[in-house]
A and B are shown apart, each in its own frame.
Chain A
Amino acid sequence: MHRLTAALRFLLFVLIVALVATVSLGVVWRYALGSSLYWATEVPNFLFVWLVFLGAVVAYREKKHIAFTAILDRLSSRGRRWPPVAVHAIVLAFALFLLVTGSMVVWQTMDSPSEALKLPLGYLYSVLPFAALMIAIDAIGEIVRILRPPIREPAS
């Protein structure tokens, strides 16, 4: 699991570097060379969409999403076990919903080309079912981790 996070983080590194590079290129082309790159907004936009959804996966794995936990924190340790299970179950349900509907959208848009590069828009949308799948896997992992009975330390 840890290796998957590291791989996703590397992907984010590539995306943000590419984002900075392509926006910079757009600026340079326009002001130094006086002509605008025809893909100067489309490519950064696509990279950014990918960055947002893959970043959301990593944020979920690293528990960085903003949530309101003031009430949960007041619960006793016995009562504390079930709300997180419910939270991860809700996240899992939404992820599965996005996996299905997102895949449908990818399927529908494989024939519609993007404005500048004429790439199938399905490539752009495909990050959604991919991210949803990643989040679903992690949500199942979290639920299993919480519900599995704790391993007893051997008395020494």
Chain B
Amino acid sequence: MIGIIFVVFLVLLFVGVPLGIGMGVAAAVALVVDGNYPLTIVAHKMINGVNSFPLVAVPLFILAGALAGEGSIAPRLVRFADALFGHIRGGLGHVNVASSMFFGGISGSAVADTAAIGSLMIPTMEKQGYSRADAGAITVCSSTIGILIPPSIPMVLYGVAMSTSVGALFLAGLVPGLLVGVFQMGLVWALARRKGWPQRAERAKAPELWTAFREAFLSLLLPVFLLGAIVSGITTATEAGVIGVLYALFLGGVVYREYDWRGLYRILVDAAVNSAVPCFVVATTSVVAWVVAIVQFPDALVTFFQAMDWGPIVVLLMINVFLLFVGMFMDLVPALLLFAPILYPIAQAAGIGPVQFGAIMVVNLGIGLVTPPVGNCLYLGVVLARSTLWEMSKAALPFLLVNVFVLLLVTYVPAISTWAPSLFFDGIK
């Protein structure tokens, strides 16, 4: 059955059938061919795959991110980042990366980060002498930080698929996200001389820094609130999501007064549609995941790997290379949902816990968002920067190597992902 599913899915994918539908068709075809199960199981699994309270966090974080992105929260964060880092060699490149780190604390989606930061930063970067490809590449590569710094929609999905604490997973992404940011800023600094990227004439003076901080303060408070609520055990991730929505609404609607009713209606409905797209993929992928589980495919894989006896270092390397390859061709959401339950038993046999494995998968598949031929952030970045896929992929390469380096750290140094959650949760591995 696994063979049928993969062949049908790949054929449908290349014909251009939407991913969510392709997954469902593949599972349905496999069940028809097999003939041992009632076909109503597809409908059952699709509904129950999304009938989950932790998953409700997805529309809430998407809505909070949209409310923050549409209003002045994103520009405020960019101005603050500019006052902090604009004078360092490579100026706006640092501002772009730092803005992604700040915005990643509000939004849990890399695509939302690309859209919000990219539309603000790319035109300015171009004016200051960055090539379109470079400006776009820095934007899309730094947006991968958005799904590492909590909140993170992929972490929610992994937590639901693997019955792991979403709060612990959020914290597991924090240090890797900061590392990607710091290393990417280091790379901007190193590339700036050769590429001739300018910086602002002088360091922001104390009054400017203070003004920028004051204007961004209430927006910066949001991630602090969210994390605080989750780690102190006051709320679940879903409840933190609703706090994020209400806070963003309060900021944009009452404090800054920048939404009108018509705009708010559009933001709300679009957030619903934009949540439905990945969650519909969750629904159909859970049918496939069920099939994969009943044929005991993961067990067979574990037995095979044990027989091969390659040792944990090689096994983890193989998992990562495989996932990087998958990420080139497959969107993050189905790849995460499908391969987490398949690959985790192998990783577990190699001594990896569920929280660390979540961090590995999200860092790894985040790279897939930027690699051609299929990369949602890359495509959006090409459009925003009016560059070409080829030029931007070339410019993105050094930044992606930074992500790969962090991926290796996360894979082989458990403390990088497990240290932060272990401060607040018991028994984190």
- Give A residues with C-beta under 8 Å from B: 9-10, 12-13, 15-17, 19-20, 23-24, 26-27, 31, 41, 44-46, 48-49, 51-56, 58-60, 62, 64-72, 83-84, 86-87, 90-91, 93-94, 97-98, 101-102, 104-105, 108, 124-125, 127-128
Contacts and interface: CB of A to CB of B under 8 A. Distances in A.
B25 A94 contact: yes
B50 A83 contact: no
Range for the number of chain B residues in contact with chain A: 35 or more
B53 interface: yes
Contact of A91 (B17, B55, B271): B17
B354 to A, nearest CB: 23
Given A20-B245, A27-B243, A49-B51, A64 B274 contact: yes
Given A59-B280, A125-B43, A128-B46, A67 B56 contact: no
Interface in B16-40: 16-21, 24-25, 28, 39-40
B269 A9 contact: yes
Contacts of A84: 16
Given A48-B50, A59-B276, A20 B19 contact: no
Nearest to A9: B269
Interface stretch (B207-215, B234-242, B421-429): B234-242
14 contacts: A13-B272, A48-B55, A51-B275, A55-B280, A56-B277, A58-B269, A62-B273, A69-B16, A70-B373, A90-B17, A91-B17, A94-B21, A125-B47, A128-B46
Contacts of A125: 43, 47
Contacts of B283: 52-53
- Choose among B44, B245, B280 the residue with the greatest number of A CB atoms under 10 Å from its CB: B280
Nearest to A72: B16
Contacts of A41: 53
Interface of B: 12-21, 24-25, 28, 39-40, 42-44, 46-47, 50-53, 55-56, 59-60, 63, 234-235, 238-239, 241-243, 245-246, 265, 268-269, 271-277, 279-283, 329, 331, 373-374, 376
A66 B19 contact: yes
A67 B53 contact: no
B277 A20 contact: no
A52 B16 contact: no
Contacts of B39: 97, 101
B239 A26 contact: yes
A56 B276 contact: yes
B242 A27 contact: yes
Q: Is the interface of B mostly helix, strand, loop or mixed?
A: helix
B43 A101 contact: yes
Contact of B28 (A48, A94, A102): A94
A23 B238 contact: yes
B336 to A, nearest CB: 14
- Choose among A10, A52, A56, A127 the residue with the greatest number of B CB atoms under 10 Å from its CB: A52
- Choose among B15, B63, B246 the residue with the greatest number of A CB atoms under 10 Å from its CB: B15
A59 B51 CA distance: 20
B276 A20 contact: no
B28 A71 contact: no
B53 A65 contact: no
- Choose among B19, B42, B52 the residue with the greatest number of A CB atoms under 10 Å from its CB: B42
Nearest to B282: A52
A101 B50 CA distance: 18
A65 B21 CA distance: 9
A12 B329 CA distance: 31
Contacts of B329: 68
Contact of B376 (A44, A49, A66, A70): A66
Contacts of A90: 12, 15, 17, 21, 25
B85 to A, nearest CB: 34
A91 B21 CA distance: 7
Given A19-B59, A45-B53, A97-B28, A70 B276 contact: no
B40 A101 contact: yes
Given A91-B21, A98-B43, A31 B269 contact: no
A67 B246 contact: no
Given A44-B56, A51-B272, A52-B276, A124 B16 contact: no
A70 B376 CA distance: 12
